[in-house]
Amino acid sequence: MKKDKISEVTTNRLSLYLRCLTEAGAAGAETISSQAIAERLHLNSAQIRKDLVQFGEFGRRGLGYSVPTLCEHLTRVLGLDKEHRFCIIGAGRLGTALADYYGFRNTNFTVTALFDTDKQKIGKKIGHIKILDMKNFADTVKRDNIEVAVVAVPAEHAQAALDLAADAGIRAVMNFAPVPLKAPVDIRLRTVDLTTSLESLAYFLAQPARRDRKRKPANGRSNNK
């Protein structure tokens, strides 16, 4: 199956599988079963096998998957066998935190630029990343071969930031502004809305049936007589 026909939900799971395999390999595992992956990730083993078979036959019944082989293949499938350069639009608290995020250091994603329109911020550095003027956005994207833009600006400026990214030739955008954006058909847009996620958790906490449900004691017996 072609990668462009794979759903976003599936690619999200592939990323989890790769992380699991990487950790297993680091612990010295040479093979791993779909059941073992499922137990580590709290997923269904049948779903894991269904996902992986879309890209080839990797496992052997009774032996499982070769950790190094499957790791290498998923790395290629996810496009992680090469560097991906990205920029951040917005040098506020979120943008600067992302620019200095240590979690990117051991990945194939490299922050190459941080942009803002505030003259008091332009020219300063966050770690080793210099804050650049948005006026130079398109030229910098072309010069540094930037593929991904992260939008970390207030909601009212998010659409303009996305439009600038699209006009500069960027094809993938991650949006942290709490607002729906309209993207061209050739742009892959992912919105991360922290508020919506928290509201979903608040709904869960507000359910009295769940909150007041009596827990069974450790021996599995009910206290009701």
User: Tokens in use for 141?
Assistant: 């994207």
Torsion, Cα 16 17 20 22, to 10 degrees, reads -110
CATH number for region 84-198: 3.40.50.720
User: What pLDDT, on a 0 to 100 scale, did the predictor assign at position 216?
Assistant: 53
For residue 16, what pLDDT is reported?
94
Domain range annotation of the chain: 3-77, 84-198
Q: Residue 141: which residues within 8 A CB-CB, separation 6 or more? A: 87, 165, 168, 169, 170
Residue 54, both tokens: 């879309």
In the CATH hierarchy, which fold is given to the domain comprising 3-77?
A: Arc Repressor Mutant, subunit A (1.10.10)
Strand 59-60 to strand 84-89: parallel, antiparallel, or no bridges (unpaired)?
Answer: unpaired
| 175 burial via Cβ count (<10 Å: 0-12, 13-18, 19+) | buried
Q: What does the pLDDT profile of the chain (225 residues) look like in tens digits?
A: 444 467 888 888 999 999 999 999 999 999 999 999 999 999 999 999 999 988 877 766 667 899 999 999 999 988 888 889 999 999 999 999 999 987 787 788 999 999 999 999 999 999 889 999 999 999 999 999 999 999 999 999 999 999 999 999 999 999 999 999 999 999 999 999 888 888 888 888 888 765 455 555 555 554 554
Is the CA virtual torsion 128, 177, 183, 161 positive or negative?
negative
Per this entry, what is the length of the chain?
Answer: 225
